[in-house]
Each structure stands twice: as structure tokens, then as C-alpha cells.
Amino acid sequence: MGEEVALRVRNLRVGFGMADPVVRGVSFEIAPGECLAIVGESGSGKSVTARSLLGLAGSNARVSADRLELVGHSVLGLTEPAWQARRGKDVGLVLQDALVSLDPLRPIGREIADSLRLHTGLGASARAARVLELLDAVGLPDPEMQVQKLSGQLSGGERQRALIAAAIALNPPLLIADEPTTALDVTVQAQILALLERITGAGTALLLISHDLAVVSRIAHRVAVMHDGVLVETGRTERVLGSPGHQQTRRMVAAIPADKPRGTRLSAADTPDPPSIPSTPRRPDTAIDSVPEIPPNNTVVLEAIGLSKSFRRPDGTRQLAVDTVSFALPRGSTLGIVGESGSGKTTTARLLLALLTPEHGEVRVFGQPWSTASEKTRRALRPGVGAIYQDALGSFDPRWSVAEILSDALGLGRQRRAPQTTARLTTLLDEVGLAATVLPRRPLELSGGQRQRVGIARALAGKPQILICDEPVSSLDVTVQAQVLDLLDDLQRERGLSLVFISHDLGVVAHVSDQIAVMRAGRSVELGPAARVFAEPQHPYSAQLLAAVPRLSV
Amino acid sequence: MARLQLPVLRPLRRVLARLGGAVFVLWAVASVTFFAVRLIPGDPAQAVLGGPGSQASAEALASVNAEYGFDQPVIVQYFAQLGRLATGDLGRSYSLNLNVGPLVLSQLGGTLLLAVLALALAWLLALALATWSTQSGRIASRVGSALEIVAAALPHFWLATSLIVVFSIWLGVLPPISTGGALGLVLPVLTLAIPLAGFLGQIMRESLLRALESPFVLSARARGESERGVRWIHALRHASLPAISLSGWAFGSLISGAVVVETIFARPGLGRTLLNAVTLRDVPVVIGVVMIVAVAYILMTLLTDAVSRLVDPRLRLS
Amino acid sequence: MSDLEVQAELAAQAAQPDRSGKSGRPRRFGVAETGAAVLALFLLASAVVPQLLAPGDPLAIDPLSAFQPPSGAHGFGTDESGRDIYTRVVHGTQYSLVIGAAATAIGLGLGIVLGTLAGMLGRVVDFTVNRFLEVLFAFPGLLLALLFIVIFGPGVATATIAVGLSTAPGYARIIRAQLISVRSAAFVEAATVLGRTRWQILLRHILPNTLAPLFVLATLGIGQAIVWAATLSYLGLGAEPPTAEWGAMLSAGRTYITSAWWMSFFPGLFIVVTAVTATVLGRSIDRRMRHA
């Protein structure tokens, strides 16, 4: 009976030091060839769970369980040498971001050969031969060339493949993958998922840890949703995603933007960002499923005409980061710019904000010259153009409190304590769903979602008509991302804002945009109405991106 | 092609660039010292002979004037000086009546020996302290950290005095002044090594901890690597990198420390020669020592770079 | 690299979030910080009102009680002329702190000028200043100070200036690096997007964020300057006996080291205590500023 499961966990509890346990009674099992995904937001305890299964929760961790069985053997209370004999052989681990998950000072061939060196009596040449086989098996082209390379010389996808090769070197019956695709571009992510699926197909049990329901739904047979140290819901993937039982699952399913029409609420009205309860509920609880379309208005507020910008590479040659990009943003609408890393999205954002000057082409704002104007003339127009950044924290002066940041943005000076200042600050915070209690705090002390709300409040302070949003939600948990996207949507409707929304995530962009520009290697390869690009992409690259978008494959 | 772009030639180009930089620094050091000496108030010949209070004889003044060409325009003197330096002629010490070049070279060996031994010992001490304090729990970590901070704050002259009191006067096991034997080296080397170990230890402990917590160590552990393997194959290599790049600075501060240590332990060497020359205002000797230290320091920096590249293959790529 | 840069680097790494996991706010006061604060108060009191802590005259000679080892009457013993070492050490705090502060002021002042020039005035100035600093770095440790003394002669004033000058390149390079990193920070761009002028950005963001770390630097630097100045005195190039300066006292004690170890031990102990206090306080301020 014990032979049927690769891993059996009963009532696992993990705590650190004197603090309350972070994993509070988790039970699950995985059969050979099965993929179980544990999905949860940051701080839910999913990574700690994964590490405890390898005896690697850390020296100050208190781990207890009723049963903890790896391929039929109890591993409870195993000594460190006994653990060492099992790790790599009975269970393999794949971590996020292989740039730092493989020793950057050693060639990847050595790293992969380590498991063989530790657990088999193979000689050096036999190990080398096996490493080549493994690299071939994980789909790295030219294995002979790659073994000598350092992890820093490989692309993100190649590194992740090498890391997987190292973990499966001894064909362990159980593979644990902790956020294996998180830092990767969507197309690469799809390839890595396919590789993992192939490995489970060969009979390996896979425990997949992720924050992203949509990603795991592609390959997981079963999904367990973790929240606050407990598995709140476990079941077949179709069932959990199709008819989620627990509130947290519903919240996470609802938050997935892909395939949801523009204007659909992503965050449930009953789940605000906990410490930031708005003083008055701004929106009625009647869940609006689809809101009336924004009245079309043909006034163009922002226009890019043949923008080009290049940078000098370290070797002296020039690289075009943005190559003849053109578009027009009508008032009250959203233009989504989507592309993978290095596609020139962020350079485009900086050109639009006139932080960079284009080499060719021009940006016009409200029909007036913008990129060609002097900074002095531009300054008069600047309040009309707001910006939201991916790294909200970095965009605030570390010495300033929220009150100082916002009163500075309102043009009130930052030291003023007048009652009307406080009143205006409170109103501004209210608009972004934050309570006045955050005013004396520094951004460093706020959560990611709160920081981004402060960033939005700062952008709104100048009463802008245009907002340039550069990856505004990519470092947030899905449910927080949903709240921020909903907030932007509300603000756009209330204020008639025109948005440029830049993201690597086509799912998000498709949800928020009226028009989409797909960027690749500095060029805008496709530009068209969102619905059309999403339904029938014209450019093969758009189609490829679209196919890779994480969505609920129910 | 104007640029050397063949891959074989790239390291050559780098070495040439570094050497060019070194020559520039040496030229600048020579120029700074040349013009600095001109800042000494009064007659330059008098200054060379130990300043206004030295009561140099008329013949001595005349010979200095002839040797340095003080009667000629400054610019001529400057190029003459550079020319002499280029041929290795560092002038003549007035207090010792010796040529500075051979004098300084004869003192170089003792100081280099001291510095190299101290650097090696400091590395050993720092490594031992860092390894011990990172694997023996919280209290060991606190104790290690406190020891390092105190060690780094110890002035050489006080440490040397205290070591002499304890080991030579109270215990009587080690000679208080250098007698030429190996035993005589123990206290001077300890004096130089302990404060340096404090600095290196702090850097190593921190980078060791950082490496031990990094995802690649977690990956290695997940492969079944033992604690010892994790340290020796992965962590220590990472931990040594910042300490290696610090070693150029360390060498410089050891040479500076040698001024004190050689004086206290009455060891012959560059440091003591320099201090004597400073006290007697024997300008040619001061310049000679400073130049040779600059050369040694630059060579040491080049060496640290080379070692860094050896340990960190990433540096060889870019 | 200079000693100062190494110090600053170590302080920065010590200010990293506690690795026990919880980053958050630092504890209110650790044992080391409390101890350092108490010692700093004691040293300040010794410098400002030495009579309060040691009522005697530091120069009072009493040949009958020369070379007394530490005892109830003379806690730290007496020197060759029967002067009370404790009294001298306490009164010497003034010299050391003033010399240390003056040298730091000189070094920091020059450093600010050079660092700001390099960091603000464009590539050509930056390149020139950088090469200049590189040349100065070829005189490691005390060598620059010794070169200065050989030109201007020994003495307290020249020793102080010499120490200040030899620390200046370190300050300059740190300030330049800080300026450059702040200037290209995301929050500076965000201020441009809000429509702030260059001057507003310079005054409100760049300068405060560049200058704030200087408190830490100065605290760390004073400790180092005191050690260097004492070293010069010890070598007979700074303050001279019978001045109650710590380095000079050690220098005087050197002759009697075989018989009267306390003459050397206690002045040196005060130097060590001062240097450790400066290090611990500097790091504590650094950590607080980063996480405040």
C-alpha cells in the first residue's frame, strides 16, 4: 500500500523559533506520475512546506507531523546524514530563478554531475556522459557546448532547464518544483511547463509550488490551495477551478484577468486589502459583471510618431531598443503595450514620459509638442501626465513619509501640517482605498499593494488626464493585482483617464486595454483593437504570446 | 583594424591597459612628490639637507645644488628628475651618504616578508574565526563579531607594546626585539595580522552567511550535499571573493603599519627607514621609499585582480 | 580602497536586515549599542569637564610616588615623574577628540568638495578627479600623512592636517559614489515626472540623500582619525610629552616598558575603547537611518 504513493504527508506543522507555526496541519499525498500543485500567495507557507519535505526548513525550524513518508519510508526525525543520503536520490528540488539557484562560479556541467558524484559510484567520464544525456533530455541544444558554461552565460530558460537536469539526474521518484517558471517570459514558461509535464508523464511524482493558479492549471492533476498555513481546498484541477468551494480559492480564480471582458471586476467586493479599509465604500456591492463601454471619443491625447531610441552596448556597437514605434491614444481609452523582457517596453515608457529623448520621431501630448519641447515648456504640461512604476518603493524618496510624498505631489510643500492639507491627503488616499493611518508611515513599512496605491495616489495628485503605467502590477500577488487593476479601472471611468498600460502579461493587458500593441525586439509587430488581437492575432509572434498566456484551462 | 579584437589578444590588451594605468600613477606620484618638495619653505637645497635647522655646510649645499640642478628652471629640473627616475636613479641620501635606490631595495625584503606573512596569518585567522562563528550558533556569532570589531580597532603601537609586555617581559618566551631569527618574527607578524584579521573576518563572515543562505546552496543541499561539501565546494569560494579584493588595500595598510612595527621591534625595513628619513627630513629617502611602496602597491593590486579572476570565472568572461 | 571605505563597507553590510528572518525595525537598543552610548557619554564628559571625573592636575609632578603600579590611590598607576595616569588619560580625551574631530572635518570637507565636483560636473571633471584620487590612493595608510609631515615639519597642527588630508580621498570617493547612485535613483526620475525643476530635485532629494550618510561616515572617521593621530604622536611626529595626549603618553611609556607596563597600557586602552565606540555607534546610526 505504501508503494502506491511517492509522498504522504499527514498533519505537517512547521514553526520558527518561538513564533506561531507558519504551516498548521497540512496533509496531502502524491502518486507516481501525478502532479499536485500547492498554490498560495506570498506568506501562505507553501515554500516552507516544500522545504520541510526535504528536511531543509532551516536550523531554527520546528517540524512535526503525524506521518511524513517519502516513497514508503518515514522520514520523520531523520538524522542529517540520513537526509543527505535521500536528497537528490529520492527527491529532487527545482527552485525559482536559476541564476542564483545554480552556483554562479561553477560550470553547469559540474553542478549537474554533483548528484551523480554524491550518490553513485560512477567515474568521471561516466558522469560526464550522463550529464550530456541529461542536458539532451531537458532539451538544451548542443550539450557539449553548454556543460562548460557558467549559469550567467545562459538565458533564463536554459538555466531553468539545467537546474531541472540537476534535479532529475538520479531519476528521483519525487520532484519538488518551487515557482519554477516565475521569473520567465511567458513563451519560455510554457516550454518549461511542457518539460515538467513530460517528466511526470515518465512516472515521476511532481509537487508544484506556485502563486499562480492559471500557470499550474496547465499541468497539475490536482490543486491544493494554501492560505495562512492551511490547505483550504484540495481537489481535481477542473473541479477546484470550475467550482471553487473556499472563499480564498474563489478570490484567486476571480483574480485571473485572462479571458475576462474589459470592465469585469477581478477582486471580490468583500475582500479589501486588509489594513487599508476605505473610510466609505465607494462602489456599490451590486457586482457589475460588465459595465457600459466608455463613450468613444476621437480626441487623441497622446501620440507617438515613429519613435526610435538606441543604446550603446559595452562593446561600442549600438542597439536599437525602440524601433519606429507609432500609436495614438484617444481620450478615455487604454492602450496596452505587451512584450517580453528586452522588447523595449520600458524604454517606450521613458520616451513617453520624456525621461529620454527619441533619436527619431516625436511624442505629442494634447496635440502639443512634448519630446521636442524644452523641459521648461514641458513642465507646464507635466501635471497632466502621471506615471505609475513597477518598483513603487524605489520611486519614493526613502526619507519621506506617505504624508510628505503626497503633499509634495499636491504642490503643498512637504512639511505643512495645516488641517486643510490633512483633509486633501485623506481625500486622495480615500480615492485609492487607503486609510489615513498610513500617512505618517514610510513606504518601506507598507505592503506591496499599499505601496502601489500610494504610487497611484501620487500620480493622481496633479489631476492628470494621461497615466503611463509601467508594469504596475507585476510584483504583486494575484488578488492584490486584481484589486489594483480594479482600482485603475474605476479611476479611469470616474475621471475619464487615458491609460498607457505596459506589461509582460498579455492576460492582464487584454483585460484592461482597448487597443493592444505587441512589441518584440523594439518593434511594434502588431497594433489593433484588443478584442481583435486577442481573438485573431495577425502576427505569428502575437499568436505565440497568446498561446502561452496562463489562463484557466478548464 | 585599430582595435585589438582577436580573442587571444584580449587579455594582452587588458594587461597593457592596466600597466599603462600603473605607469600613469607612478608618473603622477613622482610629479606630486617633486612639486611637494618645492613647497618646503626656504632654499630647496637647504630643504633637501634637512630644513632650515640642519646647518648644512656650504660644500654640501653646493653639491646638492649641482646634483639637483636647483639653479636651473623648475621645468628643466622636473624633466631631469623624471629622467633620473626612469633610469632607476633615486638620488642620494644626505643623512646616510648612500644612493637611495640600493638603500631602499636592501630594505624592501624585510618589509615584504613581514607583510606577506602577516597577510597570510590574517587570512588564516579570519577564515578560522568566520568558519567557527558561522557554524556554532548565535552566541558564537555574537562573540565572533565582537572579537572582530575590537581586533579591527587595535592600534598597532598599542598591540605591539601589549604583546611585548605579555610574551617577552612576563612570560619571557619571545624576544621583544628582532634578533634576525624566526622567533623574532612572531610578535611583529602577530601585531600586523590581528587587526587585519578583524577586518577580513567581518567581510568573510558576512559573505559566508550570505552564501550559505543563497538559493544555490539550497539547491546543493537538496542534491544531498553534506554540510562540509556545501562549505568547501560552494560557500567558502564565494566568501573569499570580497576578502581577496580587499587584500590590495590590506597590503597597503600593512606597509603603513610596518612603519610602527619595525620601529618598535627594531627590525630593519622600509618602514623604519621611512620614519628615520621623515624625522631627519631626508627628502630623497622619503621620496625613494614612497615611490617603491607605490610600485609595490600597484603590483599587489594587479596581483589581487589576477587572483580574483582565477577564483571567479565570471570576471574572465566580461 | 581606503581604510575609510572599508569601514563604511563593513558598516553597510552590518546594517543589512537581521538574518534571523524578521527584517522589520531594529531592536531599540542592543547590549553593544547601550554600552557604546554609555562609553560615548563618558568620553564626552572627559573631554568637556575632565575635572569632574579626574579632579587632579594632569601635569602635577610628584617624584616621590613615581612608577607606582595601579592601586587604590592611583587607579591606573603613575608615570616616571609621579603624575597620575588616570588623571592624564581623562584629561587627554580632550586632545584626542579635538584632533580627531578637526582631522575628520578637514578630510570630510575636502572629500565633499572633490566628491561633489566629480559627481556633479560631468565626465571630464569626474575623470580628472578620479585619476587624481587614484594617485593619492597609491600612498596607502599613513604614507600620505608622513609625506605631508616631511614637508611641513612635525607638530600637533601638521599631524592633524596630515591625517585629515590622508583621509580625504576616501571620503571623496564615497561621496561621489553616493551622489551618482542617488542622482540616477528612480525617485529622482519620479520627481522629474511630477514636474519638479532641477534645483528643487537637487535640494529636496539629491543633497539630503547624499549628505545623510555622512553622519555615519564622520562617526566612523573620527575613530580612525584618533588612532592615526595617536600613531603620529607615538612616532614623535605629533603631540609631544609631557602633553597628556594618549599617543604621546604611550610614546613616553615606551622607555619604561619593562618595569611600568601601565604607563603604556591605559592610554592605549582608551584609544581602543574610543575606536570601538565610534565603530559601534556609527553602525548603529547607519542601521537606524536605513530602517527608520
Average pLDDT score over residue span A434-442 = 90
Residues from chain B contacting residue C170 (CB–CB below 8 Å): none
Task: Give the gap in angstroms from C-alpha A259 to the nearest C-alpha of chain B.
Answer: 35
Q: Which residue of C has its CA nearest to A381?
A: C195
User: Percentage of chain A with pLDDT > 90?
Assistant: 54
B72 — phi, psi (to 5°)? -95, 165
Comparing A44-53, A147-156, A254-263, C262-271, the range with the smallest average pLDDT is A254-263
The cell for A357 is: 529623448
Residue tagged 523582457 (cell numbers): A341
**Residue in A102, A118, A163 nearest the CB of B224:** A118
Task: Give the gap in angstroms from C-alpha B210 to the nearest C-alpha of chain A.
Answer: 12
Residue A498 sits in a domain whose CATH number is 3.40.50.300
Q: Which of A156, A171, A186 is the last residue of a domain?
A: A171
The DSSP string of chain B is: --S--STTHHHHHHHHHHHHHHHHHHHHHHHHHHHHHHTSSS-HHHHHTTSGGG---HHHHHHHHHHHTTTS-HHHHHHHHHHHHHTT---EETTTTEEHHHHHHHHHHHHHHHHHHHHHHHHHHHHHHHHHHHHSHHHHHHHHHHHHHHHHH--HHHHHHHHIIIIIIIS--S-SS--SSSHHHHHHHHHHHHHHHHHHHHHHHHHHHHHHTSHHHHHHHHTT--HHHIIIIIIHHHHHHHHHHHHHHHHHHHHHHHHHHHHHTT--SHHHHHHHHHHHT-HHHHHHHHHHHHHHHHHHHHHHHHHHHHH-HHHHH-
Residues from chain C contacting residue A394 (CB–CB below 8 Å): 185-187
pLDDT above 80: residue A288: no
pLDDT digits (tens, 9 = 90+) for A309-345: 998 877 778 888 999 999 999 999 999 999 988 899 9
If DSSP codes are grouped into helix, strand and coil, which group holds residue A423? helix
pLDDT digits (tens, 9 = 90+) for B283-293: 788 888 888 88
Average pLDDT score over residue span A266-284 = 47
**Chain A to chain B, count of Cβ pairs less than 8 Å apart?**
83
So what's the ipTM on this one? 0.86
Q: Where does residue A96 rank: exposed (0-12), middle (13-18), buried (19+ CB within 10 A)?
A: buried
CATH topology of domain B100-317: MetI-like fold (1.10.3720)
Would you state the pLDDT for residue B115? 94
Would you state the pLDDT for residue C70? 86
Could you tell me if residue C53 is left (phi over 0), alpha (psi between -120 and 50 degrees) or otherwise beta? alpha
Residue tagged 487597443 (cell numbers): A515
Asked whether the beta carbons of residue A89 and residue B219 sit closer than 8 angstroms, the reply is: no
Could you tell me if residue A433 is left (phi over 0), alpha (psi between -120 and 50 degrees) or otherwise beta? left
A402 — phi, psi (to 5°)? -60, -40
| Single-letter residue type at B143 | V
Residues of chain C by 3-state class (helix, strand, coil), percent to 5: 75, 0, 25
Chain C: residues touching A (Cβ < 8 Å): 20-21, 185-187, 189-195, 197, 204-205, 208-209, 212, 291-292
Beta-bridged to residue A500, according to DSSP, are A335, A468
Q: Which of C218, C189, C237, C288 is nearest to A349 (CA)?
A: C189
In the DSSP assignment, the letter for residue A357 is: -
**Domain-located, residue A218:** no
List the chains bordering chain B where 3 or more Cβ pairs fall under 8 Å: A, C
Would you state the pLDDT for residue C25? 45
Asked whether the beta carbons of residue B251 and residue C140 sit closer than 8 angstroms, the reply is: yes
Point out the residues of chain C with pLDDT beneath 70. 1, 16-29, 291-292
Domain count, chain A: 2
**Domain-located, residue A249:** no
Higher pLDDT, B3 or C42: C42
**Domain-located, residue A292:** no
B237 in contact with A, Cβ within 8 Å: yes
Q: Which residue of B has its CA nearest to A85?
A: B224
pLDDT digits (tens, 9 = 90+) for A52-61: 999 998 888 8
If DSSP codes are grouped into helix, strand and coil, which group holds residue C264? helix
Residues from chain A contacting residue B237 (CB–CB below 8 Å): 105
Beta-carbon contacts of residue B298 (< 8 Å; ≥ 6 apart): B22, B25, B26, C138
Beta strands A368-369; A360-365: pairing state: antiparallel
Which domain, by its residues, includes A429?
Answer: 304-547
Asked whether the beta carbons of residue C292 and residue A394 sit closer than 8 angstroms, the reply is: no
pLDDT above 70: residue B42: no
Would you state the pLDDT for residue A423? 87
Say if residues B276 and C247 touch (Cβ distance below 8 Å). Answer: no
Task: Give the gap in angstroms from C-alpha B18 to the nearest C-alpha of chain C.
Answer: 13
pLDDT digits (tens, 9 = 90+) for A504-543: 888 888 889 999 999 999 999 999 998 898 888 999 999 9
* Confidence band of B79 (pLDDT split at 50, 70, 90): confident
pLDDT above 50: residue B74: yes
Task: Give the gap in angstroms from C-alpha A136 to the nearest C-alpha of chain C.
Answer: 39
Residues from chain B contacting residue A56 (CB–CB below 8 Å): 218, 221-222
| Single-letter residue type at C49 | V
pLDDT above 80: residue B142: yes
Would you state the pLDDT for residue B44? 67
| Distance, C-alpha A424 to centroid of its chain | 33
Q: Which of A450-454, A475-479, A544-548 has the highest mean pLDDT?
A: A450-454
If DSSP codes are grouped into helix, strand and coil, which group holds residue A448? helix
Residue window 468-497, chain A: list those with CB within 8 Å of chain C: none
pTM: 0.85
pLDDT digits (tens, 9 = 90+) for B240-279: 998 898 888 899 889 989 999 999 998 999 999 999 888 8
Q: Which of A171, A188, A219 is the last residue of a domain?
A: A171
**Chain B to chain C, count of Cβ pairs less than 8 Å apart?**
150
Q: Where does residue A440 rank: exposed (0-12), middle (13-18), buried (19+ CB within 10 A)?
A: exposed
Would you state the pLDDT for residue A3? 53
Q: Which of A153, A499, A519 is nearest to A321 (CA)?
A: A519
Residues from chain A contacting residue B317 (CB–CB below 8 Å): 150, 152-153
Q: Which residue of C has its CA nearest to B213?
A: C19
Q: What angle do CA B117, C168, C283 make, to 5 degrees?
A: 75
Asked whether the beta carbons of residue C131 and residue B28 sit closer than 8 angstroms, the reply is: yes
Q: Which residue of A has its CA nearest to B234?
A: A103
B140 in contact with A, Cβ within 8 Å: no
Cis, bond preceding B195 (omega within 30 deg of 0): no
Residue window 471-530, chain A: list those with CB within 8 Å of chain B: none
pLDDT above 60: residue A1: no
Average pLDDT score over residue span A107-117 = 92
Asked whether the beta carbons of residue C190 and residue A60 sit closer than 8 angstroms, the reply is: no
Task: Give the gap in angstroms from C-alpha C210 to the nearest C-alpha of chain B.
Answer: 24
The cell for A523 is: 518593434
Task: Give the gap in angstroms from C-alpha B222 to the nearest C-alpha of chain A.
Answer: 5
CA distances to A375, B157, C253, C256 from C80, in Å:
74, 20, 8, 8
A135 in contact with B, Cβ within 8 Å: no
In the DSSP assignment, the letter for residue A65 is: -
Residues from chain C contacting residue B294 (CB–CB below 8 Å): 138-139
Asked whether the beta carbons of residue A383 and residue C187 sit closer than 8 angstroms, the reply is: no
A207 in contact with B, Cβ within 8 Å: no
CA distance B274 to C157: 21
CA distance A335 to A513: 5
Say if residues A497 and A294 touch (Cβ distance below 8 Å). Answer: no
A100 in contact with B, Cβ within 8 Å: yes
Residues from chain B contacting residue C10 (CB–CB below 8 Å): 152, 199, 202-203
Task: Give the gap in angstroms from C-alpha C250 to the nearest C-alpha of chain B.
Answer: 8
CA distance B24 to B20: 6
Asked whether the beta carbons of residue B36 and residue C151 sit closer than 8 angstroms, the reply is: yes
**Domain-located, residue A68:** no
Q: Which of A171, A198, A217 is the last residue of a domain?
A: A171
Asked whether the beta carbons of residue C140 and residue B203 sit closer than 8 angstroms, the reply is: no
Would you state the pLDDT for residue A218? 86
Asked whether the beta carbons of residue C190 and residue A389 sit closer than 8 angstroms, the reply is: yes
CA distance B53 to C76: 39
Residues from chain A contacting residue C209 (CB–CB below 8 Å): 397-399
Q: Which residues in chain B are classed under CATH 1.10.3720.10?
A: 100-317
pLDDT above 70: residue A67: yes
pLDDT digits (tens, 9 = 90+) for A385-400: 999 998 999 999 988 9
Would you state the pLDDT for residue C104? 95
Would you state the pLDDT for residue C22? 39
The cell for B220 is: 546543493
Beta strands A300-312; A360-365: pairing state: antiparallel
Would you state the pLDDT for residue C48? 86
List the chains bordering chain A where 3 or more Cβ pairs fall under 8 Å: B, C
CA distance C146 to C124: 31
Could you tell me if residue A440 is left (phi over 0), alpha (psi between -120 and 50 degrees) or otherwise beta? alpha
Q: Which residue of A has its CA nearest to C288?
A: A399
pLDDT above 80: residue B317: no
The mean pLDDT value of chain A amounts to 87
Residue tagged 588564516 (cell numbers): B124
Residue tagged 520611486 (cell numbers): A395
**Residue in A399, A409, A414 nearest the CB of C194:** A409
Would you state the pLDDT for residue C65? 79
Q: Which of A388, A367, A340, A378 is nearest to A520 (CA)?
A: A340
